Chains A and B, each alone.
Chain A
Amino acid sequence: MDGVGDIPARDFRALVADAGVIIRFGRFAFRLRSPVEHLADEVHRMYRYHPVSLEGFADFHVEVRPPRTLRRWFGKQLEFHVDGSSSFFPLPHAQAFPLLEWGLNWCVHDAVKDCLILHAAVVEKDGKALLIPAPPGSGKSTLVAGLVHQGWRLLSDELAPLALDGLSVEGLARPISLKNDSIDLIKGLVGEDAFSETVRDTVKGSVALMRPPRESVLSVRRPATPAAVIFPKFTRGARPVSQGLGQGAGFALLMESAFNFSVLRRRGFEALADLVARCECYEIGYGSLDEGMQLVEDIHAAA
């Protein structure tokens, strides 16, 4: 199967505007249709290594387009549609790509019922994966981008599909979402080319997405074994600290970040219980990316 980048950008734009393209991430696929040219261009760059096809089965039929109501005449706005229905408020035209990414996150955690979907990043090195759940603003994505730049494999930046036996976690390898000061920090490490345009004034401040490395995309179907769970907290100027949380506290925090816990009920509970029984949970605090990455390396080495 070809990668998105094998299609010339102009052709890709035309396909997206017409019948749409099917882009595969991990075991899922979405069909994207959109008349918005800059969105097609961003997808073309950010999903460069993802497999693409023009027909077949797609899990999510996604469209990003102007509203068809009178609203379209007031300010340039776009809506995210899945299977023809829109569940989100329209956003300004410039936010098309973040809107698509947030919409796709919603598609995955709303649909999937055969694994526990955690709001967490997953990175892997030497066969040992780390789960990094965290609320927005804790520095999770920055840490993940830094680790990926150091050669860690990216499984996911936002959603971690944990198998119900708690033994493995799947990859999605979609772009990493960076905010505010982190954008320039990571651009300084990996270069401009891997980044989408920076979108200012979103609900999360400035947002830019970073393309996942080619190796991570190509190996996305290889699940990883969780070895530890890390709750990061970046505070400017803070000294690096790392402490074990214990099973109970780790479980409670993970439960808060589980999207489909209520549908899975007992099976979700047991998956989390199995996870914390086998993986240590840590809380780390740090004041710079380098310190944070060092704490993660230490935990990884000990796990």
Chain B
Amino acid sequence: MSTTSEKLYRNRRIKNAIALSLSGAAALFGLFWLVWILWTTLRTGISAMKPGLFTQMTPPPGSDGGLANALFGSLVMSVVAILIGAPIGIAAGTYLAEFARKKPIGEAIRFVNDILLSAPSIVLGLFVYTLVVHTTGHFSGWAGSLALALIVLPVVVRTTDEMLQLVPGQMREAALSLGVPQWKVTLQVLYRSALPGIVTGILLALARISGETAPLLFTALNNQYWTADMSQPMASVPVVIFQYAMSPYDSWHALAWAGAFVVTVFVLLMSLLSRAILLRNKASHD
């Protein structure tokens, strides 16, 4: 009698130990890929770094060059995308949090926004292609920015909505009871209180679009030369990485790795920065 229960007990403990070690193994498995991918990018990227990277243009096959035009193109298109996407996103997030919090229309917009947030980015590229490139007849930096803005939009909508909902109701009531009109309450009280969160959302969006390739492939296309004219095709770092990495030339591979290194470092810095802002904000609230 006691032996069967002891056996049962032992079996359960063994099963438990196996399951828990498997869970530890799963965590190690996840970290293993992270370390491997980051290590490859850093090692190969740093060895491919050179001073000319930021001053020279993307080279034709076989010759030496840098990524200056691609870095510039990425910068310009990302900034324009933020300038288009962030204001609309903040306004839409304000509508969700302040005017449609429990209404069916608000729920519908939230639902659609969540779908947009995880929709395949290549689909957004196709959308902008049919909307802009097909109608204007040529690829352009504007089209690329617009495609990126569609990725910025849902990120900013979501963070703005969430952050405004966290602002205590007393603040609204206090301001409104002083006779302040609602638009002023929103702009001068609520935004001020939710600002760190909204900035975090914009930084996250920036991190996300700086590595996006698929929506740029057939909107901004690529450009071998320096251009600041956004109605022309424009180079961007991710598209150049794609083109160069798929090529058979070693010098192009090295440039692709250098670009990958720059993008990865930028993305990691952005996400660390946004995390730091959120933490500081949380600490000041507690």
**Does B associate with A?**
no
List residues of A whose CB falls within 8 A of some B CB. none
List residues of B whose CB falls within 8 A of some A CB. none
